[in-house]
Structure 1
Amino acid sequence: MGGLMPGGDVNDTSNSVEVVHPKGAGGVLLLCEHAARHIPARYDGLGLDAQARDSHAAWDPGARAVALQLSRALDAPLVASRVSRLVYDCNRPPEAETAMPQQSELIEVPGNRDLTPTQREERTEAVYRPFCAAVSDMIATRRARGLSTVVITIHSFTPIYFGAWRETEIGILHDSDSRLADAMLAEADRLPERRIARNDPYGPEDGVTHSLKLHGIANGLHNVMIELRNDLVVDEAGVAAMAQELMTLIAPALDTLGEPGGGQGTGEGANA
């Protein structure tokens, strides 16, 4: 599902983070904090069984695949974590308990119980700081190239949470800066068959806007977080359809804000 950009332009900045299509010249920088379910061997599987390690608690199924499609369409770099969010959730600051959660929905995480300050710092240094450095470096590099940057982070969520069905299919999330979210939601009528909602199934009160604040708002950049219900992106056809639908919202929103992009990537893989 998904793949590398034509020509394979991926920078491995560390074992914990990848940068796909770093030379993309479009107006968007994509993030995917929960792209992988990998748990490095030194953490001994966090004491989880195979089912838990593969579940939505460990990663955001389909999110990286959709982000890769958007990277092509927007000629956009993508910064993605290579490590399970149960080891360290790159959308949380180090001081947050949920950065290394002891429980995710109904799944207890034995390997995250009673972590010492030293253990927490080791994970922060190994996973979180390389991810943040890769994003910051990309923003600085783009600024030096004279490129405008809009931060868009891609996530997915489970359709059933604590036994309750979630009606929302596409969530458009924002913190104090709602400009890009507002512009995207203004285009929701273009997708009448989709249930699109603001700050649902999560919102700022749930602590999910850390990346938006750190990489977007703090740098004065337009920003938005997109949540996709993961039953819609389980195969290549679903991923391709969702990426196309998101472009239906993103492209005119960028135009509304006077940002470059407009849905036409200029890179080699833009129409792949």
Structure 2
Amino acid sequence: MNHRDDALMSDMVDVRNAQAASPIVIVCEHASAHIPPAFGDLGLPASALHSHVVWDPGAMAVATGMADLLDAALVASKTSRLVYDCNRPPEAPDAMPARSEIFDVPGNADLSANDKAERVARYYTPFREALAAILAARTAPIMVTVHSFTPVYHGKTREVEIGILHDNDARLADAMLGLAAHHTSRIVRRNDPYGPGDGVTHTLKEHALAHGHLNVMLEIRNDLIATEAEQAAVARTLSDWVSNARAQIEAKA
């Protein structure tokens, strides 16, 4: 990798604690609300620029807390999901969406094939390569992706508070759901508010399922992680579930 590529990587991807002792790798694809000035806020109204359509509020704080508690590496995108959603493959329509929930995204309307290819190369490829390298440096890595979701979506109130999501490998999710059932009063559900049918498991499929690594995707309702104290508390709870679930699985191996 040349110096220019190194600079691009650091501009687009936040990699922390790369030398962590734990095999656990925390991932936050929607960590940032940053829209590069060249995109002119993508034509969004000011009211949308820090809303859930642009990023996952609170998710990076929880992911950082979990990485610290678990002595885990952390890989996060440094650019808004609307510029490029790093949890989507380049061919997905919502990788660079022209509409997100109730908001049109004028800056993503009528993108040419070249426009899209440039965004893939600049935002997605460095993220994918950085995550792949962090995982490859570990023996039997365990990947945990961290997201947040809005409590009201298209006018519908969501009851679920924490979603534990998986694709066709449910080992870690099953163990965490079992722990959650006995150790929290939170409303915790499997593949809710999203699931594989919604196209949200791309990172799991690309980086974990293809290699047989333990993996899970966590969704936290963002009104529950609005303050630093709430973020720290949720990070502790989720870290305990991940750690204990890992221990259960390894004990059975």
Query: Which one of 230, 247, 250 corresponds to residue 255 of structure 1?
Result: 247
**Are 2:86 and 1:94 aligned?**
no
- Name the residue aligned to 1:62: 58
Summarize the alignment of residues 107-122 of structure 1 with structure 2, pairs less than 5 Å apart: 107-122=103-118
Query: Which one of 135, 158, 161 corresponds to residue 153 of structure 2?
Result: 161
Question: Identical aligned pairs, as a percentage?
Answer: 51
CA contact (8 A) 1:12 1:19 kept: no
Distance 2:90 2:245 in 1: 33
> With structure 2 as the length reference, what TM-score do the two structures score?
0.94
Aligned-pair Cα RMSD in Å: 1.3
**Partner of 1:18: helix, strand, or coil?**
strand
> Which amino acid counterpart does residue 225 of structure 2 have in structure 1?
V
> With structure 1 as the length reference, what TM-score do the two structures score?
0.88
**Partner of 1:148: helix, strand, or coil?**
coil
> Which amino acid counterpart does residue 198 of structure 1 have in structure 2?
R
- When you count helix as a share of all residues, which structure comes out higher? 2
**Partner of 1:258: helix, strand, or coil?**
helix
Q: Deviations over 1:86-109 (max 9, x none)?
A: 000000000001000111110110
Summarize the alignment of residues 40-59 of structure 1 with structure 2, pairs less than 5 Å apart: 40-59=36-55
Query: Which one of 135, 138, 141 corresponds to residue 139 of structure 1?
Result: 135
CA contact (8 A) 1:12 1:18 kept: no
**Are 2:17 and 1:21 aligned?**
yes
- Name the residue aligned to 2:218: 226
Q: Deviations over 1:142-174 (max 9, x none)?
A: 2xxxx3310100000000011111111100000
For residue 84 of structure 1, report the CA deviation from its aligned partner.
0.1
CA contact (8 A) 1:94 1:124 kept: yes
CA contact (8 A) 2:8 2:126 kept: no
**Are 2:241 and 1:242 aligned?**
no
Distance 1:38 1:13 in 2: 16
Query: Which one of 203, 208, 233 corresponds to residue 200 of structure 2?
Result: 208
Q: Deviations over 1:105-160 (max 9, x none)?
A: 10110000000000000100111000000011111222xxxx33101000000000
> Which amino acid counterpart does residue 244 of structure 2 have in structure 1?
P
**Are 2:191 and 1:195 aligned?**
no
Runs of 4+ in 1 over 4 A off after TM superposition: none
- Structure 2: 5+ residue stretches without partners: 1-6
For residue 247 of structure 1, report the CA deviation from its aligned partner.
2.1
For residue 12 of structure 1, report the CA deviation from its aligned partner.
8.1
